[in-house]
Amino acid sequence: MSDHIEWVAVSVFVFFFALVTVMGFVAARWKSGPVSEHLDEWGLGGRQFGTWITWFLVGGDFYTAYTVIAVPALVYAVGAYGFFALPYTIIVYPFVFMAMPALWKLAHRNGYVTAADVVHGTYQSRGLELAVALTGMVATMPYIALQLVGMGAVIKTMGLQGEWPIIAAFIVLALYTYNSGLRAPALIAFVKDIMIYVVVLTAVVVVPAKLGGYGAVFAAADDAFRAKGGATGLILKPGQYLPYATLALGSALAAFMYPHTLTGVFASKSADTIRKNAILLPAYTLLLGLIALLGYMAHAAQIKVSSPNDVVPELFKTLFPSWFAGFAFAAIAIGALVPAAVMSIGAANLFTRNVWKAYVNPTISHAGEANVAKITSLIVKFGALAFTLFLPVQYALDLQLLGGLWILQTFPALVFALVTRWFRAEGLLLGWAVGIAWGSWTAWSNGLKPLASITFDGTSYSFYVALGALLINVVVAVVVSAVLSWTSPAPEVAVRS
């Protein structure tokens, strides 16, 4: 990183950042509905977002700034193995098409705002509701912190030192999210996604042209991986097939369990809107594949960095004029603000509905709910900021891996109820607890690595820890539910359409 401030890049960056800040405050008057009088209005944008708004919003909080930074960084470091993000974003959309419309109908009919609302309404279990709510809140915190990591990478590349630029950016984010709720990131997502598309499409044309074409790019990357040795390379090694596949499947199942992605689903105006988005959202997968190629391009450009997270910013700084680098950095930074806002809103909705209303003030008014959520969103954002400022970045990275593991353990409680009434709340709660405990212990024992290994007939097999924990979770839920169904009658559960 350079200590010299790139003033042209900084000026372009500040212009676009100011633009989205104004849009964030104006968003309070965008769409009908009083933002501060109902949690539906502040936390779900009035449940009135159509196909295009939902497409930009869900894409904006699913494909984050850290995605733009981390995916090329992983490809730069390990090669083909880093492309597991592509199949998982392909696998997830058929699941969204089939499951999320049913979940939306259930939430819309009963006024549910969160996944934990759905779980409580279905099973009438405060314990299971609280487990889902706490898991969502805890899993979201390091995810927000990682948006700061992505923003910090581009800010430092422009030569701005210290933590004050990130602090200033997050204060602005906190204020317009407090003021406008979900409308702010929904409106800003239009600008963010268009900017990202412009940056990536330009890069995949201009960068190879400067480096001698894609043949030269792949050749340079291949040479770099051969020199590095080990498991790196342009194609997967046989031993990587199973971990690659389980990472893709587990990540796909976890993706729409996070509070921020479910918030985008619940904010849609109809089940048909969600189906249309499941058809349209794979366009982002194409974009993600192009973004991943930036990792190979960095090898061809002979980019050398102390941390792989700096690869993309350094690539743009090296190969593009300062004004376009500033535009690209602004796109990445805004790409941090949109998901960070939705994540904090999702966590605030969970706290308000499933902790505050459930245990502190059951008679709270709709306006009171909105006010509690607004305050909670501030606490969540500044908690993530403090996490990033005072703890090493590696803690955020490690905890985000655990966050994915934890959030996947809410899958049975939330999704199984959409297709069967057989499972019992006690079984699902115990399955959740065992999955969390085994997965966390296994990941911790492996140095917080996402993979675990088992040996069968003398051969070692590696797999994604979160998926293994989910399988154990489901087995426990099935066994306990079966035992309870034999020994006691099933309680009444919510009727679903």
Phi, psi of 448 (to 5 degrees): 60, 30
- 67-88 average pLDDT score: 88
pLDDT tens, position by position, 342-363: 999 999 999 999 999 999 999 9
Residues 114 and 410: their CA atoms lie apart, in Å, by 13
Give pLDDT, residue 307. Answer: 83
Give pLDDT, residue 496. Answer: 47
Residues 12 and 6: their CA atoms lie apart, in Å, by 10
Give pLDDT, residue 495. Answer: 46
Give pLDDT, residue 405. Answer: 93
Give pLDDT, residue 480. Answer: 96
Q: Two tokens at 52?
A: 């295009």
DSSP per-residue letters across 78-99: HBGGGGGHHHHHHHHHHHHHHH
**pLDDT reading at 398 higher than 60:** yes
Q: How confident is the model at residue 497 (pLDDT cuts 50, 70, 90)?
A: very low
Residues 412 and 112: their CA atoms lie apart, in Å, by 18
- 312-330 average pLDDT score: 93
- Residue written as token pair 């969103």: 377
pTM comes to 0.91
- 285-309 average pLDDT score: 90
Of 264, 269, 353, the closest CA to residue 47 belongs to 269
**pLDDT reading at 484 higher than 80:** yes
Give pLDDT, residue 492. Answer: 57
Task: Note whether 363 and 57 are within 8 A (CB).
Answer: no
Q: Two tokens at 229?
A: 């040795």
- The winner for highest mean pLDDT among 336-340, 471-475, 481-485 is 471-475
Give pLDDT, residue 285. Answer: 87
pLDDT tens, position by position, 103-134: 999 999 999 999 999 999 999 999 999 999 99
Q: In the chain, what percentage of residues exceed pLDDT 70? A: 95
- Residue written as token pair 């602004």: 330
**pLDDT reading at 394 higher than 80:** no
Q: How confident is the model at residue 493 (pLDDT cuts 50, 70, 90)?
A: low
Q: How confident is the model at residue 481 (pLDDT cuts 50, 70, 90)?
A: very high
Residue 416 neighbours by CB under 8 Å, 6+ apart: 423, 428, 477
- 7-20 average pLDDT score: 90
pLDDT tens, position by position, 403-414: 889 999 999 999
CATH code at 7-410: 1.20.1730.10
> What is the rounded average pLDDT for all residues in the chain?
88
**Domain edges within the chain:** 7-410
Residues 54 and 271: their CA atoms lie apart, in Å, by 12
Helix 322-351 and helix 7-26, axial crossing angle in degrees, nearest 10? 30
Residue 270 DSSP symbol: -
Q: How confident is the model at residue 329 (pLDDT cuts 50, 70, 90)?
A: very high
pLDDT tens, position by position, 168-200: 888 888 888 888 888 888 888 888 889 998 999
DSSP per-residue letters across 160-187: --SSHHHHHHHHHHHHHHHHHTTHHHHH
Give pLDDT, residue 396. Answer: 64
Environment class of residue 457 by beta-carbon count within 10 Å: exposed (0-12), middle (13-18) or buried (19+)?
A: exposed
Of 97, 58, 125, the closest CA to residue 266 belongs to 58
Task: Note whether 302 and 294 are within 8 A (CB).
Answer: no
**pLDDT reading at 401 higher than 80:** no
Pair type for strands 451-456 and 459-464: antiparallel
Give pLDDT, residue 490. Answer: 63
